[in-house]
Amino acid sequence: MAIVAPSLLSANFLHLERDCKMLDASEAEWFHLDVMDGRFVPNISFGPMIIKFIRQTSEKFFDVHLMIEEPEKYSEEFMKAGADSLTVHAEACVHLHRNIQQINQLGMRAGVAINPHTPVSVLENIINDVYVVCLMSVNPGFGGQSFIPQSLDKIKALKSLIESKNAATLIQVDGGVSEKNAAQIIAAGADVLVAGSAVFGSSNPAVTISKLKSF
């Protein structure tokens, strides 16, 4: 059974409190919060101020996915806003090891995300310091895209890397995850499913979350 992390990116921001309370009452364990800067990715979403408000609605695990350049400038602010984990993109960090150290020193769990074109081998020397690897199964920037099928092989490759290093790192899959492919994704080795449009675009998000939990 995987951890389900619905992405608030697909929530209705006019009714954000309602959507957050729905998640809080649902079987989802994590809130996935997508931060975009319009530079690392071609879209702008929200920042620490909104996360601080969302924090008031739930005590669940806040998984903050930073799709931003120079994430080290904002780590402390996200910690203060209530992030439990902070995920940075390997492609955005010249000194990735330093970024991970900083996040761990601030008392958060460190996550590293990799884009579809980035091989899992870039994680070889840091995997033991990383709580969660976010494997992007779409190109980051937007919700509602289609799952890239080659991601299944990457999940398997990441699983063997984690096992070969005796690491306890979680494998998170982000992008195009739905009831249709969740079973395959979990069978390949995923521990955490991020789902945005599949949850918020469904007629009953809480039921969709339960279904994702049932695989």
x/- map, 156-185, Zn ion, by CB under 5 A: ------------------x-----------
Stretch that binds ligand DX5, among 86-94, 121-129, 138-146, 202-210 (CB under 6 A): 138-146
Cβ at position 87, least distance to ligand DX5 in Å: 9
Beta-strand pair 61-67/192-195? unpaired
Active-site option among 37, 84, 174, 191: 174
Binding of ligand DX5 at residue 88 (CB under 6 A)? no
Report the partner that residue 141 touches, choosing among ligand DX5, Zn ion, none (CB closer than 5 to 8 A by kind). ligand DX5
Residue pair 135/151 in contact by the 8 Å Cβ criterion: yes
Active-site option among 34, 37, 84, 191: 34
The C-alpha atoms of residue 109 and residue 85 are separated, in whole angstroms, by: 4
With tokens 């958060």, the residue in question is: 108
3-class secondary structure per residue, 139-151: CCCCCCCCCCCCH
Q: Is 174 an annotated catalytic residue? A: yes
Three-class SS state of 160 = helix
Q: Is 84 an annotated catalytic residue? A: no
Binding of ligand DX5 at residue 197 (CB under 6 A)? yes
Beta bridge partners of 112: 88, 133
Q: Is the backbone of residue 84 left (phi > 0), alpha (psi -120 to 50) or beta?
A: alpha
Binding of ligand DX5 at residue 118 (CB under 6 A)? no
Among 50, 72, 116, 144, binds ligand DX5 (CB under 6 A): 144
Three-class SS state of 36 = strand
Residues that bind ligand DX5 in the complex, under the rule CB under 6 A: 7, 9-10, 32, 34, 65, 138, 140-145, 174-177, 194-198
